[in-house]
Structure 1
Amino acid sequence: MGKPDYALEMALMARGRRRIAGVDEVGRGPLAGPVMAAAVILDPQAIPEGLNDSKQLTERRRRELAQQLHADAQVSIAEASVEEIEYHNILRAAHLAMERAVAALDPAPDFLLIDGNLVPRGIAIPAQPVVKGDTRCVSIAAASIVAKIWRDRVMVDLAQQHPEYGWDKNKGYPTKQHRSALQNLGMTPHHRRSFRPVHKILYQD
């Protein structure tokens, strides 16, 4: 698989766009914790080397790149809570987080490159969805990195309150330790009770 590049951004710049933000979310799959999104406008003169889908990078490399991005790019991070995930659904909650991240960029972007196949309905800025965008577009890859780092920190913090679930390591994903703790200890306020694995564990016969 090739690495993401700056081609989409360059094509948009050739059409007059100047402030192009990559947007991505993390945390749709875990059983616990908020869903996070980030929006990043890269400085064309200071694009960090090695940007890639956050899942393709080591934790150490993600931290290094996130530090560079916070220093050299315009970065915004937002979340949607477990309560919002439950009230809406995980897709709409992820879109809410994206909308909030975009809205917090100041000055505002004039175009968005959004990971996935949908543009969130609350976004009025011109936008293009990019399927597998974090592997194709460095702006989206940058957003995936900073959102991942931020969400991981949140889950490590929550793990201090609920150490039995292993969130400092599994970040809320359904590992053996996490599922076992759910079965033995039940649900915390940070669990997504509507998610089928949580519901099944808690209400099995």
Structure 2
Amino acid sequence: MNLICGIDEAGRGPLAGPVTAAAVVLPPTFDTGQLGDSKKLSPRQRELVALELRRETIYGLGWATHYEIDAFNIHQATLIAMERAHNRLMRAISFLLQGNGANPTSMQRGSIDSNTPNSRPAWRKLLPWQELGLPPLVLVDGIHPPKLDYETRCVIGGDRLHPEIMAASILAKTARDRWMRAYAEIEPLYGYEQHKGYPTKNHKKLIALHGVSRIQRRSFRSI
């Protein structure tokens, strides 16, 4: 049985903030019935499922900043975020295989991901990595894969078809939403805690009123 890694992103469309990607491997015992298209889940439903994913899976988060989006374009920045997410996932798996007693996910946890559970050994019993095939097959939502040293397949509409991609979508979306809510305290005039940087009517009105913020994607034509 080979491992399957799902990769998806969140934040391609906003006018501000980073683009975020997640790479995740589900343990055989994970209840995939609670997963679904992250765009159709309510914010509360997404957060509850994300909490379960952070407790029960191994995952990596990758980020590309608004500076990188402006420098390289949103397409390339998204691929960069996906590569970073996958690299962190593989480091976490390697860490686990070395037999370290700590939660490997905590290695890639920053202040933005402070809700990740601390290192409890119970969840590790559900992950018999040594009995599963490595390296994992990578499934990416969309048509453009990141450059990885592993077999990679693109799946159009993968966030509705494959549990691993569904999980990655939820983790990426909730991580980015938390980042935007936290940043809203730094520049409260823009209402990022509400629209998360997406081009809503209110967001555009606030840009017209206050000018661009420090995390605005200046390369986007809507600015």
TM-score range, shorter chain: 0.7 to 0.9
Residue 59 of structure 2 contacts residue 88 of structure 2 at CA under 8 Å; is this kept in 1? no
Q: 1:128-168 deviations in whole A, cap 9, x for unaligned?
A: 00001101111000000011110001100111122221110
Q: Distance in 2 between matches of 1:104 and 1:170?
A: 28
- Please identify runs of 4+ aligned residues in structure 1 that moved more than 4 A: none
Q: Distance in 2 between matches of 1:107 and 1:192?
A: 34
Q: Distance in 2 between matches of 1:77 and 1:27?
A: 13
Q: Distance in 1 between matches of 2:202 and 2:30?
A: 41
| CA displacement at 1:48 relative to structure 2 | 4.0
Report what 2:150 is aligned to: 125
Report what 2:174 is aligned to: 149
Structure 1 position 135 matched with structure 2 position 121: no
| CA displacement at 1:76 relative to structure 2 | 1.0
Residue 48 of structure 1 contacts residue 68 of structure 1 at CA under 8 Å; is this kept in 2? no
Q: Distance in 2 between matches of 1:75 and 1:103?
A: 10
Unpaired runs of at least 5, structure 2: 95-134
What is the RMSD of the two structures over their aligned residues, measured on CA atoms? 1.2
Structure 1 position 181 matched with structure 2 position 206: yes
Residues 34-45 of structure 1 mapped to structure 2, 5 A cutoff = 34-45=18-29
Once structures 1 and 2 are overlaid, which stretch shifts more, 155-164 or 140-149?
155-164
1:79 alignment partner AA: W
Q: 1:52-109 deviations in whole A, cap 9, x for unaligned?
A: 1110101111111111111111111110011110110101101100000001113264
Structure 1 position 50 matched with structure 2 position 75: no
Structure 1 position 94 matched with structure 2 position 89: no
Structure 1 position 161 matched with structure 2 position 186: yes
Report what 2:116 is aligned to: none
Report what 1:20 is aligned to: 4
Q: Distance in 1 between matches of 2:140 and 2:32?
A: 20
Q: Distance in 2 between matches of 1:155 and 1:107?
A: 28
| CA displacement at 1:123 relative to structure 2 | 1.2
The one of 107, 111, 114 equivalent to 2:93 is: 107
Report what 1:74 is aligned to: 58
Partner SS, residue 29 of structure 1: coil
Q: Distance in 2 between matches of 1:187 and 1:114?
A: 33
TM-score by length of 2: 0.78
Q: Distance in 2 between matches of 1:62 and 1:181?
A: 27
Unpaired runs of at least 5, structure 1: 1-12, 199-205
Structure 1 position 172 matched with structure 2 position 221: no
TM-score by length of 1: 0.85
Percent same amino acid at aligned positions?
A: 43
Residue 36 of structure 1 contacts residue 151 of structure 1 at CA under 8 Å; is this kept in 2? yes
| CA displacement at 1:23 relative to structure 2 | 0.2
Partner SS, residue 55 of structure 1: coil
Q: Distance in 2 between matches of 1:44 and 1:114?
A: 20
Q: Distance in 2 between matches of 1:181 and 1:170?
A: 11
